[in-house]
Structure 1
Amino acid sequence: MKCTVCETGCEISDGHYGRCRMYSNENGNIIERFPESYLTILPITIETMPMIHFAPKSKFLQVSTVGCNFTCPGCISETLTSHADSVIGALQKASPEKIVQMAIKQECKGIVFCLNDPIVSFYSFKTLAKTAKDKGLYVGCSTNCYFTEDSLNQLLPYLDFVNVGLKGSSDERYKECGVKSADPVFRNIKILYDSGVHVEVSAMYINGADTEIISAAERVAEISKDIPMQVMRFVPFGEAAPELEPTIAMSENITDQIRKILNYVYLFNSPGTEYLNTVCPSCGENVICREFYGPMGCRTVSEVPDFKCSCGWEAPVSGEISTEQYTEYGMLGGYRTTRAIEMAHAILVTLGVDDDTELGDVLGSIIKEDFIRGMHDRIQKIDLWLDLIADLSRRSGKEEKGEELISYIKERVDIIASKAKDAKCRPSVYYAMGYPLFALNAERFETNLVEAAGGMCVNKKIQRKGKPGVNITADELCKMNPEKIFISGFLSSPASDFMNYCDNHEISVDATDSEEIYNVPAGWDFGSPRWILGFMYIANKIHPEIFSFDLEDEQKKFYRKFYGIKGDVVQNRDFSRPAFSSK
């Protein structure tokens, strides 16, 4: 029997699953595998989705399930999509009435389905959407939009806004994601737009694939030049090659090119960029200012009254504008939740838990008991990190391996702590993510590593908070005048781009004058137990007169002992699956 939810059109024989493994044929009926079963049900700010021209600053109830009908290399939600069986134990049943009641009780303006694709939970989402609309709530989703015309038409009466994730513009690019053609996606964008649904598109920008994203913008412009495009700088997760990640500067350049094609184009996954702002096309005034706010998201930090420029131009936003910005707690909300799950996954992998069934047992139990809510606080200090490892080793029955990992880390932590005490000075250090003017939060784990390695982290002086940091001004950075600067190993930019930015913005501090600006290797300072390698790297740079860790040797030891990797290591940003070469 043929599944008619997406354009893949799987022929599913009785008792078997389709390609996405989320639908089966039971006695001649296509049945959803996990009906009304959700991985997350929690409030988010709409810009976290991300959605930036609809109901700005508003609170929505996010729902997600597991699985996807695409298989995209480097997917940011890989754990939920490609390894769905590892988290199905965490699914919780919830009727549409219950979810809508939760949204109303928590004063949410609507429901949004994101993190994975609603296509794999079509019937549950359609029923939920109808129930929400009946109660006067907004309804939206993030989707690859590979719906059949029939299934999309079934949803249309209930949709207010949609973020369509574009993989590119060509059939060849879509075949890399396991489907046949790009055409159904652009057909569906037109259907949505013509039906009055607020549409935004998020287009993946992969290094070397300029033609794909420019052609995608041109195809969107044929529908309407006013459809906002979010340029998603590709960050390679999973098995995706690190060289596929473009720099922030390259991504800003492609954004400039696309702004000649579409009227509203923004750059995401690029901390510190100014390309998230909505600028008046008449006079150049910033009408809405936004900053990076966690993976794939942003937040509004300021706007002119009524979103109307002093020259009279009004920003084209739809939906009810919130008077207050909603802020999620810790790692809850949007793609931060998937990062938290992957961080737990990363620890479990080093403990030898790599079977989907085993992972499912542990991850399922911790998600159900709201473990993720408290995880943010458990990953900011070294001792708490070690406690987290011990906790997960007990839960997984891997106490012996957990003790081995803790001992390995603690031995090196103690060496650094002991020698740092003898340092004659404590150099001032600034920790940035991406561009110079995006500062990591004062309490972040990375800033604590700096202090533990014998440095004085100037980020501790910054009172404002974001996720994982905030934009600061050039004057603020100059006043802090750090002697050394570290660029985060997560969502970074090359030190050369960092210096160019400082030169172009007349930023001069001791660290730029002496060129003591260091890129922490990818995956080494956040997200996995590999942070111990980053800690040694930081110690070497802060106090080269004291520390001289052989990082190449340390890396090989760690990867051999805890990942079973004996080949040459390749730097990557995936928390749980470090890449390696078998050569």
Structure 2
Amino acid sequence: MKCPVCEIGCDIAEGRSGRCRMYVNRNGTIVERFPGSYLTMLPITIETMPMVHFAPKSKFLQVSTVGCNFACPGCISETLTVHADAVAGALTTASPEEVVRRAQVEDCTGIVFCLNDPAASYFTFLALAREAKAAGLRVGCSTNGYFTEHALAALTPFLDFVNIGLKGSSDERYRECGAKSADPVFRNIRTLHEKGVHVEVSAMYIHGAEDEVLNAARRVAGISPDIPLQVMRFVPFGEAAPGLEPTIRESEHVTDRLRTFLRYVYLFNSPGTGYLNTVCPVCGTTVLEREFYGPMGCRTSAALEGGRCPCGWQAPVRGEICAEQYTEYGMLGGYRTTRAIEMAHAILVTLGIRDDKELGAVLGDIVREDFIRGMHDRIHQVDSWLGLIAELAARAGREEEGRELISFLRERTDRIVAGSALAETRPRVYYSMGYPLFALNAERFESNLVEAAGGTCVNKRLKRKGKPGVNITVDELNELNPEYMFISGFLSSPASDYLHYCTEHGVESDAVGAGKVYNVPAGWDFGSPRWILGFMFLANTIHPEIFSFDLEHEQREFYRRFYGITGDKFVANRDFSRPVIGAPGDE
């Protein structure tokens, strides 16, 4: 029997599932494997979805499930899609009425389905959307847009806004994700736009694939040049090769080109860029100012009243700009939640757990028990980080492996703390993500590691907070005047681009003058127990007169003992739970 949900059109035999594994043929009817079941259900601001031109700063109830009809290389939600069965144990059932009541109790404007694709839970989402609209709530979703015409026609009357995630423009690119062609997506964008649904599109920009983004934007412009386009700078997760990641500077150049035929183009996954702002095309005034707010998300940090420029130009937003900004707690909300799940996954992998069934037994419990809420508070200090490992090891029945990992981390941490106590000076150190003007929060783990390594983290003088940091001004950075500047190994920028930005924008710190700007290696400072390698890197750099860790040896030893990976050469990526690609001896 043919599945009616998406254009892949799986023929599903009785008792079997299609390629997404989320539907089964039961007595001649296609039904969901996990009907009415949700992985997350929590309030977010709409920009976290992300959505930029619809009801800015408004609070919505985010729901997600597991699974996806696509299989895209480097998917940021891989834990929820590729490893869907591993986290299915965390699903909780709720009727449409119960979800709507939750949205109302939370004082949400509406409900949005994101993180994984609603095509994986189509009938659940359709029932929820119908109930939410009947209750006067707004409804939206983030999707790859591969619905059949029939499935979309049934859903459209209940949709207010949609973010369509484009994989490119060519059939070849869509086949890489397991689809047949690109045409159904652009057909559905046109249908939604013509039906009056507010449509925004996000396009993944992969290094070397500029034409895919440019041609996709041209096809969108053919529908309407007013449809906002969100350029998603590709970050290599999973098995994606690091060379596919474009720099922020390259991404800004592509964004400039896209703006020649689309009116509203924004750049995401690029902390510190100014290309998230809505600027008046008449006089150049910034009308809506935004900043990075976690992977795939942003936050409206400032807005002129009503979105109107003093010259009279009106920003093209639908719905009112909310007066107050809702702030999600910790890692709850948007794709930060997937990072939290992957951090737990990353610890379990270092304990030797790599089987989906065994992973699922632990991940299912911790997500169901709201473990993620408290997890945010435990990843900013060494002792609490080690306690987190101990707890997960106990839950997984891997206490011995946990003790071995903790011993490895503790021994090196103690050496750094003892050595830094001997330092005659404590240099001023600044920790940023992406471009220079995005400062990590004062209480972040990276900031605390700087202090433990014998530096004075100037980020601690900043009072504002974001996720994982905030935009600051050139004057603020010059006032901090760091002697060392580090660029995060998570969402990064080459040191050469970073210094170019400093020169171009008048950043004149001692670090810039002395060329003491350093990239922390990918995956070494956030998201997994590999932070110990970043800690040793910081110590070597800040106090070379005290520390001389052999980082190549330390990396080989860590990977051998805790990943079962041997060899001298590693192709590193930014994935938390999968540290290298195609390494010899990778188990």
Aligned-pair Cα RMSD in Å: 0.6
Q: Which residue of the partner structure matches residue 73 of structure 1? A: 73
SS of corresponding position for 2:570: strand
CA contact (8 A) 2:63 2:113 kept: yes
SS at match of 2:218: helix
TM-score when normalising by structure 2? 0.99
The 5-angstrom pairing of residues 21-60 of structure 1 reads 21-60=21-60
Counterpart for residue 449 of structure 1:
449
- Alignment correspondent of 2:437: 437
Given the superposition, is the C-alpha separation of residues 580 and 19 from structure 1 closer, same or farther in structure 2, using an over 3 Å criterion? Answer: closer
Give the Cα separation in 2 of the matches to 1:164 and 1:207: 21
Residues 127-165 of structure 1 show CA distances to partners (whole Å, capped at 9, x for unaligned) of 000000000000000000000000000001100000000
- Structure 2 equivalent of residue 130 of structure 1: 130
Structural mapping, 1:105-504, within 5 Å = 105-504=105-504
Task: Specify the code of the residue in structure 2 equivalent to 1:326.
Answer: Y
With structure 1 as the length reference, what TM-score do the two structures score?
A: 1.00
1:579 aligns with 2:552: no
SS at match of 1:63: strand
| Contact 1:349–1:576, Cα closer than 8 Å, also in 2 | yes
Does the CA-based 8 Å contact 1:49-1:142 persist in structure 2? yes
1:100 aligned onto 2:100: yes
| 1-structure distance, mates of 2:486, 2:321 | 38
Deviations for 1:437-458, whole angstroms, at most 9, x for unmatched residues? 0000000000000000000000
**Structure-1 separation of matches of 2:54 and 2:581:** 42
Residue 305 of structure 1, CA deviation: 1.2
| In structure 2, C-alpha distance between the alignment counterparts of 1:19 and 1:298, rounded to whole Å | 33
Structure-2 separation of matches of 1:500 and 1:234: 22
What CA distance in whole angstroms lies between the structure 1 residues aligned with 2:583 and 2:227? 45
Structure 1 counterpart of 2:548: 548
CA distance in 2, matches of 1:578, 1:498: 25
Does the CA-based 8 Å contact 1:68-1:119 persist in structure 2? yes
1-side partners of 2:449 and 2:425: how far apart?
Answer: 16
Amino acid at match of 1:436: P
Q: Quick one: distance in 1 between partners of 2:157 and 2:392?
A: 45
Q: Quick one: distance in 2 between partners of 1:532 and 1:33?
A: 41
User: Offset at 1:319?
Assistant: 2.1
Amino acid in the other structure paired with 1:319:
G
- The aligned counterpart of 1:569 is 570
Secondary structure of the corresponding residue to residue 87 of structure 1: helix
CA shift digits 1:547-570 (9 cap, x unpaired): 110000100000000000013211
How far apart are the structure 1 equivalents of 2:283 and 2:321? 24
In the TM superposition, what is the alpha-carbon distance from 1:578 to its structure 2 partner?
1.1
Q: CA deviation at 1:581?
A: 3.9
- Tell me the CA shift for residue 320 of structure 1: 3.3
For residues 302-345 of structure 1, the C-alpha deviation after alignment (integer angstroms, 9 at most, x for no partner) is 11111100111000000232111111000000001000000000
Asked if residue 18 in structure 1 is aligned to residue 18 in structure 2, the reply is: yes
Conserved in 2, the CA contact under 8 Å of 1:502 and 1:508? yes
Residue type at the aligned position of 2:13 = S
| CA deviation map 1:25-57 (0-9, x unaligned) | 011000111000000000000000000100100
SS at match of 1:414: helix
The one-letter code matched in structure 1 to 2:500 is: N
Contact 1:440 1:470 survives alignment (8 Å): yes
Q: Supply the distance in 2 between the matched residues of 1:403 and 1:419 (Cα, whole angstroms).
A: 24
Per-residue CA deviation, residues 88-114 of structure 1 (Å, 9 max, x unaligned), is 000000000000000001100000000
Q: Which amino acid aligns with 2:414?
A: D
Distance in 2 between residues matched to 1:236 and 1:44, nearest whole Å = 25
Provide the rounded CA distance (Å) in 2 between the counterparts of 1:482 and 1:447. Answer: 13
Q: Once the two structures are superposed, what CA deviation does each residue of 1:503-553 show, in whole Å capped at 9, x if it has no partner?
A: 000111100000000000000000000000000000000001111100001
* Structure 1 stretches lacking a partner, 5+ long: none
CA deviation digits over 1:177-210, x for unaligned, max 9? 0111000000000000000000000000000000
C-alpha distance in 2, partners of 1:581/1:510?
40
Q: Do the aligned residues in 2 keep the contact of 1:565 with 1:580 (CA within 8 Å)? A: no
Query: CA distance change for structure 1 residues 582 and 350 in 2, over 3 Å: closer, same or farther?
Result: closer
* Alpha-carbon distance between aligned partners in 2 of 1:264 and 1:418, rounded to the nearest angstrom: 53
- CA distance in 2 between counterparts of 1:442 and 1:407 reads 28
Secondary structure of the 1:512 match is: helix
Mapped partners of 1:196, 1:573: distance in 2:
39
- Aligned-partner Cα distance in 2 for 1:303–1:36: 38
Cα deviation, residue 580, structure 1 = 3.9
Q: What does the per-residue CA deviation read over 1:457-493, in whole Å, with 9 as the maximum and x for residues that have no partner?
A: 0000000000000000000110110000000001000
Three-state SS of the structure 2 residue aligned to 1:312 is coil
Q: Which amino acid aligns with 1:477?
A: L
Contact 2:71/2:178 (<8 A) preserved: yes
Q: Distance in 2 between matches of 1:427 and 1:581?
A: 39
Contact map agreement 1:61 1:103 (CA 8 A) in 2: yes
Structure 1 equivalent of residue 521 of structure 2: 521
- 1:579 CA displacement: 1.2
Q: Secondary structure at the match of 1:570?
A: coil
Partner secondary structure for residue 80 of structure 1: helix
For residues 305 and 105 of structure 1, what CA distance do their matches in structure 2 show? 28
Residues 419 and 546 of structure 2 are in contact (CA less than 8 Å); yes or no, is this contact kept in structure 1? yes
- Tell me if the contact between 2:57 and 2:322 (Cα under 8 Å) persists in the aligned partners: yes
Tell me what 1:533 maps to. 533
Match of 1:492, SS state, is coil
> CA shift at 1:260, angstroms?
0.4
CA contact (8 A) 2:573 2:581 kept: no
Deviation at 1:582, TM superposition (A): 4.1
Report if the CA contact (8 A) 2:132-2:139 is conserved. yes
Paired AA for residue 478 in structure 1:
N
For residues 89 and 583 of structure 2, the distance between their equivalents in structure 1, rounded to whole angstroms, comes to 34
State how far apart, in whole Å, the 2-side matches of 1:377 and 1:256 are: 39
What SS is found at the alignment partner of 1:477? helix
